[in-house]
């Protein structure tokens, strides 16, 4: 199929413009984070700072415990993912390969949860977490997210595709369900499990609403909430420091993405969604 010359030029032109417009805010962010406050106040459109102020990053650390926030975020994300996998893999296995009464209704309960995000039922969830005495704890930040309808749905689709003959062979060899899951199901479904894990990390690294509601001390705060508090404390006076803090919050997840980009995009494009 030959493309006409003007078509090719037009397409590349559109993609270049859109790509540039999308990326411009981020360049603006990096540039401001490295400028001195006085330069920001000159209403300049210049993207390259006159003087690179690396000290901005030192300054934000003096004003708020960003490293502590990062450690908390890592603990919370890892905790969520670990418990999610422990709950989701057996559930998805049962829905994909076992028969039991009430299966359809149970599956529906899991799937409906996809449409009912925590944000929608934040008030009663807050009341429950308060009753459980989990306000201002990392456990409280983790538990509401561990039962993932999305993960159960996604893994069930993959588990279903594993040939029945493998199961028969394993059962003849005397393996129980747990050994079958551990030695056959998990290794064969690795791409989907990896994809789910990445989506989970990317989602919960960004959580803002829940930590905002249930934490009010620095000890357990996560990065996003730390940033929100930092903004209030600065009250929008010093844009270069605010942007330095913003960049610090974005950097880990972007670095994580760049380090795993191949797996991320590839698994997303191949094993992710099929209709």
Partner 1 sequence: MRNKLEKYRSYFFLIPGLFFLFLFTYLPIMWATWLSFNQWNLLCFKPKFAGMANYVKLWHDAVFWLVMKNTLIFVTVSIFPTMFLALVFAVLIDERMKGRVYYIYSLFYPTLIPMAAAAMLWVYIYSPNLGILNVFLAKLGLPKLGWLGSSSTSLWALIIMTFWKNLGFFMLIYLSGLQNVSRELYEAAYIDGAGWWRRHTSITFPLIAPTSLFVLVTAIILTFRVFDQIQLMTEGGPGNSSNVIVYYIFENGFKFFDWGKACSLTSILVVFLLMLTLLIFGISRRHITYSSD
Return the percent helix, strand and coil in the chain, to nearest 5. Answer: 75, 0, 25
Judged by CB under 8 A, the residue of 123, 164, 165, 217 near partner 1 is: 123
Tokens 């551990």, located at residue: 182
Judged by CB under 8 A, the residue of 76, 77, 141, 225 near partner 1 is: 225
Instruction: Provide the token pair at 114.
Output: 């996809």
DSSP 197-229: HHHHHHHHHT--HHHHHH--SGGG--HHHHHHH
Q: Answer yes or no whether residue 242 interacts with partner 1 by CB under 8 A.
A: yes
Shortest gap between Cβ of 62 and partner 1 (angstroms)? 19
Shortest gap between Cβ of 269 and partner 1 (angstroms)? 5
Q: Answer yes or no whether residue 94 interacts with partner 1 by CB under 8 A.
A: yes
Judged by CB under 8 A, the residue of 69, 110, 159, 180 near partner 1 is: 110
Q: Which of 270, 266, 245 is nearest to 56 (CA)?
A: 245
x/- string (CB under 8 A) for partner 1, residues 146-185?
Answer: xx-x--x----x--xx---------------x--------
Judged by CB under 8 A, the residue of 38, 50, 117, 190 near partner 1 is: 117
Q: Answer yes or no whether residue 74 interacts with partner 1 by CB under 8 A.
A: no
Judged by CB under 8 A, the residue of 48, 62, 236, 237 near partner 1 is: 236
Which of these segments, 59-67, 74-82, 165-173, 228-236, binds partner 1 (CB under 8 A)?
Answer: 228-236
In this structure, the dihedral spanned by the alpha carbons of residues 156, 158, 161 and 164, taken in order and rounded to 10 degrees, is -60
Q: Answer yes or no whether residue 188 interacts with partner 1 by CB under 8 A.
A: no
d(CA 134, CA 140): 5
Residues 221, 215 contacting (CB under 8 angstroms): yes
Q: Is residue 59 packed enough to be buried (19+ CB in 10 Å), middle (13-18) or exposed (0-12)?
A: middle
Q: Answer yes or no whether residue 45 interacts with partner 1 by CB under 8 A.
A: yes
């Amino acid at each position: 199929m030959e493309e006409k010359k003007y078509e090719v030029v037009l397409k590349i032109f559109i993609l270049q413009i859109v790509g540039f417009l999308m990326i411009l805010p981020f360049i603006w962010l990096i540039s401001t984070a490295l400028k001195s406050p006085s330069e920001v106040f000159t209403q300049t459109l210049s993207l390259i700072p006159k003087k690179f102020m690396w000290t901005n990053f030192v300054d934000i650390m003096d004003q708020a415990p960003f490293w502590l926030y990062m450690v908390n975020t890592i603990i919370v994300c890892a905790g969520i993912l670990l418990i999610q996998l422990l709950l989701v893999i057996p559930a998805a296995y049962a829905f994909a390969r076992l028969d039991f009464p009430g299966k359809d209704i149970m599956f529906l309960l899991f799937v409906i949860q996809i449409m009912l995000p925590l944000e929608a039922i934040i008030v009663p969830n807050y009341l429950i977490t308060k009753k459980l005495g989990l306000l201002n704890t990392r456990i409280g930040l983790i538990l509401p997210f561990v039962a993932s309808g999305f993960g159960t749905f996604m893994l069930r689709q993959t588990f279903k595709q594993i040939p029945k003959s493998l199961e028969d062979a394993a059962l003849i060899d005397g393996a129980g369900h747990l050994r079958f899951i551990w030695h056959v199901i998990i290794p064969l479904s690795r791409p989907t499990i990896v994809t789910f894990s990445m989506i989970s990390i990317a989602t919960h690294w960004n959580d803002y609403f829940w930590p905002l509601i249930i934490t009010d001390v620095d000890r357990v705060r996560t990065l996003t909430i730390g940033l929100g508090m930092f903004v209030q404390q600065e009250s929008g006076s010093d844009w270069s420091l605010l942007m330095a803090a913003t960049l610090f919050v974005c950097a880990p997840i972007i670095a994580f993405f760049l380090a795993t980009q191949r797996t991320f995009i590839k698994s997303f494009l191949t094993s992710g969604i099929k209709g």
